[in-house]
Amino acid sequence: MKEKLNTEITNLTIGFCNSLKPRDKRFFVRDSLVPGLWLKIMPSGFKSWVYSCRPKGHKPMRIVVGSFETLSPAKARLRVKEIQSDMFKGKHPTEARRKIKGEPILGDAIKSWYELQLTVANGYRKSTIKSVKASLKVWVFRKTNSLDVRRKFKSIDDLQYKKISNINADKIKKLHDTIKSSSPYMANRVVAYLRMFFNYAIDKNLCLINPCKVKKGNKFGLQMCVEKPYQEYLSVDELRKVLNILVVTDARTNRLKVSHYADCFLNPVACLMLAFQLHTGRRTRSEVSLLKWSMVQVSNALMILPQTKTSKHNGIYSFALSEPAVEILRIIQREKLVKITDKCWFRNRFYFEPGDIRNKYVFPSRDYGRKIASGIGKTPYLVDVRKTWLSVLKMAGVERKLKHYATRHTTMSWTLAQTSNIKSVAEIGGVSEETASGYAKQSKAVVRKTLKDMQDLIKPPQPLKEVI
């Protein structure tokens, strides 16, 4: 330290540090509480914390602790004490910095996690892998076409270029708060997936602590959003009205009534897909959208799913179809045999050329191969039925804003009302009995009938008439 420093000694507080103005030359203000801790103020106005020390067996040196913008005086003092503790143990204070320089950034480490850990071979389901990558693609790698999401990026750090050791609980909390302002459930998912990664990073000695710890009881940690179970489902009258809109056939030809879908501006494939869900209770994206003709036995009324979300059947699950569900499959088969006229506004909804990949799927997409603004091609199967669902609800006079997955809740709830057997409900939904009890809700009428039966059971017997 050959340079003569212009230093002042005082108790460094946030207010005092903010009041310091830049000068023509850089200057230092020494902290009176922690020896060796200085605040450096540059002529540009930039302020940083510096620790001056002399390790045993080494020359005097200055260690940059951090910038004033990211470190308060209290945190700077704690970091200096950590450096002093390492020096007392015989460690050189720059070893940690050298380690950090060779430390991978978060983006590269996550990609390595994808390849080495997050695989089917390690016991992860394809649906889980897809969900993890889709969530982190947006909120870590910042790849999205949504302008609303892009605006939120301005308020949070770009984590993908941060060293793993520099990502603390405050950064994760800020990320969670930003996401939950519009999507509380997505905020929970992103933090949960990052927690999975940091557990992997700890196992690989990439970091020491997990910044995504969740608050449990009175312990410190991130407060997750409360996730309320979805409890809405269609009544019997609403269900009948909806089905009468979704499937309309000509009584004479037993074919789809083209004029009905054209007049209502409805996608007939989406309508039949929603009707199939109401008769089966299957999941929209992972099961119904991806359903192929090779997975269906119309004559035997069976649907064979190679892999369900909660599969415990060695990847093969056979599911019995009801007669209305089988009839929907027969309708689609009939419609695919004949080319719909070119004058029809929804032409080529069912008709495809030989060898077309859409022929493999029960509910194909009309827009397969079409490029949108982002340059992403459409899938050969239908994915999004939300617009059709909302249109049908409006036509049926359902004023409640039900999500499209209300089809699954409706099927399982009314199955429970008819059978009162939770095992049958679990079989239909392809879930455990515990999960089925969360999906299926007892209607008010069923509850009232149960209460009446109980009251009749406990009613005292009528007194015997005296014999004269």
Residues 186 and 241 occupy one common structural domain = no
pLDDT at 365: 84
CA end-to-end distance (rounded Å), the chain: 123
pLDDT at 397: 92
- Compute the C-alpha angle 377/380/383, nearest 5°: 90
Kindly state whether residue 230 falls inside one of the protein's structural domains. no
pTM of this structure: 0.57
- DSSP character at residue 289: I
Among 203, 220, 247, the domain-final residue is 203
pLDDT at 216: 66
Kindly state whether residue 394 falls inside one of the protein's structural domains. yes
pLDDT at 115: 92
pLDDT at 113: 94
pLDDT at 426: 65
pLDDT at 4: 47
Residue 169 belongs to domain spanning: 106-203
Residues 94 and 199 occupy one common structural domain = no
HSE-CB of 459 using CA atoms within 13 angstroms: 10
Measured between alpha carbons, how far is 136 from 34 in angstroms, rounded to an integer? 41
Residues 266 and 370 occupy one common structural domain = yes
pLDDT at 251: 82
Among 101, 118, 149, the domain-final residue is 101
Residues 123 and 245 occupy one common structural domain = no
Residues 181 and 240 occupy one common structural domain = no
Per-residue model confidence as pLDDT tens digits over 300-312: 888 888 755 554 5
Kindly state whether residue 298 falls inside one of the protein's structural domains. yes
Residues 16 and 89 occupy one common structural domain = yes
Kindly state whether residue 256 falls inside one of the protein's structural domains. yes
For 410-427, the three-class secondary structure string (H helix, E strand, C coil) is: HHHHHHHHHHCCHHHHHH
Residues 32 and 77 occupy one common structural domain = yes
Residues 197 and 52 occupy one common structural domain = no
Residues 89 and 113 occupy one common structural domain = no
Task: State which residues of the chain have pLDDT below 70.
Answer: 1-8, 57-58, 92-102, 215-221, 228-231, 307-315, 337-349, 351, 354, 370-377, 419-468
Residues 16 and 71 occupy one common structural domain = yes
Q: How many folded domains does the chain comprise?
A: 3
